[in-house]
């Protein structure tokens, strides 16, 4: 469609609609060990946004990530997982990964002994030397120094983490799931998580960060509050922070009806 200059002007003045949804769960329920863990969960993640998912222990946050990824033991749910509007329920973990869904930092690194170059190239969507060098620069490692290094105990823990991050960047994922990336790490490592979130975002990825940390929540743009396998609130980080700070320390402390009632009353 060709637009005149005037029509283009009008278009810019039109109110912004909601951002496009890249990933959606529609009425997803799952039982694990005979207990309902996700309970008719419907949730939409906007393309190119950094989302936080918070809520008490046992609320079903990790279960949601595992369902999205299609991990073994989490595929018997009802309802649909949709990527770009298409159901992906029937896809394997590998197929979902090829469609661009990545669960970051879940597995222990399996690249012992490889050169950094080979490790990155194996992960890369675009396998050019330039692409690999750029990813190393993004994580503040000099390509000249690191590309030919072996990934082994001669690298520090911090260097390995950066190389892992570079390997996710070269995958160019569409959706990055991070399940409590902040658990058990120090301040310097927390800064690396923030850097990772920023780099994914700059690359146009949608980031879904499950977290218990107020500091991580504050790095996001939009947040969801889970309780007892359901979405009980969503919106700005500021709004969700209130619940995060004052309630929902554990599922038993929370009356779901009470929260729902408050929402209705505004
Ligand atoms: P969260 O990440 O919000 O803390 P989870 O999704 O890990 O919560 O777990 C929700 C509930 O589901 C917990 O009570 C947990 O014990 C249970 N659960 C999770 N995975 C399994 C499983 N594979 N088998 C049985 N119960 C499970
Ligand atoms: Mg969890």
Q: Is the CB of 48 under 6 A from ligand 1?
A: no
| 177 CB near ligand 1 (under 6 Å) | no
Phi-psi category of residue 89: left, alpha or beta, with phi > 0 → left and psi -120 to 50 → alpha: alpha
Cβ of 229 closer than 6 Å to ligand 1, yes or no, is no
Ligand 2 centroid distance, CA of 218 (Å): 19
Q: How many CA atoms lie within 13 A of 243 on its CB side?
A: 31
How far, in Å, from the CA of 82 to the mean position of ligand 2?
A: 22
**Cβ of residue 58 lying under 6 Å from some atom of ligand 1:** yes
Q: Per-residue pLDDT tens for 116-142?
A: 999 999 999 999 999 999 999 999 999
- Min mean pLDDT across 86-90, 160-164, 220-224 is at 160-164
Q: Which residue has the tokens 């009470």?
A: 258
For the sheet containing 86-87, what is the strand order? Answer: 35-46, 21-32, 78-83, 86-87
- Atom in ligand 1 nearest the alpha carbon of residue 59: 3
Residue 246 CB partners (closer than 8 Å, separation 6+)? none
Q: What per-residue confidence (pLDDT) applies to 188? A: 76
Give, for ligand 1, the residue of 30, 37, 66, 182 to mutate: max count of ligand atoms closer than 8 Å to Cβ. Answer: 37
Residues facing residue 115 across a β-bridge: 150
What is the percentage of the chain residues whose pLDDT exceeds 70? 82
What would the pLDDT profile of 203-215 be if each residue is shown by its tens digit? 999 999 999 888 8
Probe residue for ligand 1, chosen from 29, 31, 33, 73 as the CB with the greatest number of ligand atoms within 8 Å: 33
Distances (CA, A) of 136 to 164, 170, 209, 246: 10, 10, 23, 41
Residue 45 contacts residue 175 (beta carbons within 8 Å): yes
Distance CA 119, CA 150 (A): 10
What pLDDT does residue 160 have? Answer: 85
What is the H or E stretch that residue 243 is in?
helix 237-246
- Output the residue whose Cα is nearest ligand 1's atom 13: 58
Pocket test for ligand 1, best of 60, 178, 232 (most atoms within 8 A of CB): 60
Q: Is 128 in the pocket of ligand 1 (CB under 6 A)?
A: no
CA dist., res. 141 & res. 167, Å (int): 13
In eight-state DSSP terms, residue 78 is E
Instruction: Output the pTM of the full model.
Output: 0.84
Q: What is the pLDDT of residue 132?
A: 97
Q: Compute the distance between CA of residue 232 and CA of residue 225 in angstroms, rounded to an integer.
A: 6
Write down the pLDDT at residue 257: 45
Detail the DSSP E strand segments found in 68-221: 78-83, 86-87, 101-103, 175-179, 206-210
CB atoms within 10 A of CB 178: 26
Structure confidence at residue 12 as a pLDDT band (50, 70, 90): very low
């Amino acid at each position: 469609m060709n637009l005149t200059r005037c029509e283009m002007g009008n278009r810019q003045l039109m109110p912004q609609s909601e951002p496009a949804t890249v990933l959606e769960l529609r009425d997803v329920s799952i039982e694990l060990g005979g207990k309902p863990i996700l309970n008719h969960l419907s949730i939409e993640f906007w393309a190119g946004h950094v989302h936080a998912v918070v809520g008490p222990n046992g609320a079903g946050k990790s279960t949601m990530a595992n369902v999205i990824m299609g991990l073994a033991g989490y595929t018997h749910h009802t309802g649909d997982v949709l990527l770009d509007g298409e159901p992906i329920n029937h896809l394997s973990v590998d197929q979902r990964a090829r469609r661009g869904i990545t669960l970051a930092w879940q597995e222990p690194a399996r690249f012992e002994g490889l050169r950094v170059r080979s490790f990155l190239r194996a992960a890369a969507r675009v396998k050019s030397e330039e692409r690999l060098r750029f990813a190393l620069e993004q994580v503040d490692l000099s390509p000249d120094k690191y590309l030919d290094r072996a990934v082994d105990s001669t690298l520090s823990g911090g260097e390995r983490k950066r190389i892992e991050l570079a390997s996710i960047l070269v995958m160019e994922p569409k959706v990055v799931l991070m399940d409590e990336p902040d658990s058990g790490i120090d301040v310097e490592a927390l800064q690396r998580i923030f850097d990772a979130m920023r780099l994914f975002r700059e690359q146009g990825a949608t980031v879904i960060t499950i977290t218990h940390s107020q500091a991580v929540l504050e790095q996001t743009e939009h947040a969801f509050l889970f309780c007892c396998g359901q979405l009980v609130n969503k919106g700005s980080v500021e709004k969700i922070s209130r619940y995060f700070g004052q309630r929902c320390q554990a599922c038993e402390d929370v009356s779901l009806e009470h929260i729902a009632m408050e929402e209705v009353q505004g």
